[in-house]
């Protein structure tokens, strides 16, 4: 099992780490298969994501996908963020090892949960 350069880069230097105290949407998703967890925080203005932060407990793939998800989602409309799939994230990272594809669900699902919370408000 080998990680791509991009995965290793996002793992070693994750972008958009942290929390947003008065976020417009927060999504937390855990994967019982291996007990990992990601939380995504978004701030939204005029229907667009203007700030995004995440926290992840998990493997290198979980951290890298969360980091990449926040990069891809920043500046997107809520609808655009909802359309972001785990495959988009994996593709942006030049792929993930097959056993690690389930980790990429985590970040996209957490983002979607945050967007849905925001939309419900």
Partner 1 sequence: MKRIYLDHAATTAVDREVVQTMLPYFTETYGNASSLHSFGRDARNALNASRQTVADALGAQANEIIFTSGGTESDNLALKGVGKGHIITSSIEHPAILSTCRYLEDHGREVTYVPVDSDGMVDPVDVESAITDDTTLISVMHANNEIGTIQPVSEIGSIAKDHGILFHTDAVQSFGKTEINVRKMNIDLLSVSSHKIYGPKGVGALYIRKGVEIEPLMHGGGHEMGMRASTENIPGIVGFAKAASLAVERFEQDTRHLTGLKDMLIAGVMDSIDDVTLNGHPTERLPNNANLRFAFVEGESLLLHLDMKGIAVSTGSACSSASLDPSHVLLALGIAPEDIHGSIRFTLGRGNTESEIRYVLEVLPEIVGKLRAISPLAGG
Q: Give the binding site for ligand FES (CB under 6 A).
A: 34, 36, 58-59, 61-62, 100, 103
Quickly count: other Cβ atoms within 10 Å of residue 66's Cβ. 31
Q: Which is nearer to ligand FES, 103 or 111 (CB)?
A: 103
Which residue of the set 13, 18, 19, 34 is catalytic? 34
- Report which residue's Cβ sits closest to ligand FES: 58
Q: Contact between 83 and partner 1 (CB under 8 A)?
A: no
Angle between helices 60-73 and 5-12 (to 10 degrees): 90
Instruction: Please say whether the beta carbons of 84 and 69 come within 8 A.
Output: yes
Q: Which does 16 bind (CB under 5 to 8 A by kind): partner 1, ligand FES, none?
A: none
Neighbours of 9 (CB within 10 A): 16
DSSP assignment of 96-119: --GGGHHHHHHHHHHHHHHHHHHH
Nearest to 92 by CA among 62, 72, 70, 66: 72
Catalytic (active site) residue 34: yes
List the interface residues with partner 1, window 4-63 (CB under 8 A). Answer: 8, 11-12, 14, 17, 19, 28, 33-39, 54-60, 62-63
Q: Is position 59 annotated as part of the catalytic site?
A: no
Judged by beta carbon, residue 3 or residue 86, the one nearer partner 1 is 3
State the catalytic residues. Answer: 34, 103
């Amino acid at each position: 099992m080998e990680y791509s350069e991009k995965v290793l880069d996002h793992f070693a230097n994750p972008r958009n780490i942290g929390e947003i105290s008065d976020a417009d949407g927060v999504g937390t998703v855990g994967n019982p298969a291996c007990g990992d967890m990601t939380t995504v925080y978004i701030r939204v203005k005029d229907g667009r994501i203007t700030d995004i932060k995440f926290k992840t407990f998990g493997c290198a793939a979980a951290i890298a996908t969360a980091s990449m998800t926040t990069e891809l989602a920043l500046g997107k409309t809520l609808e655009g963020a909802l359309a972001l799939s785990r495959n988009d994230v994996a593709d942006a990272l030049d792929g993930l090892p097959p056993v690690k594809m389930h980790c990429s669900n985590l970040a996209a699902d957490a983002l979607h949960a945050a967007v849905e919370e925001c939309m419900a408000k």
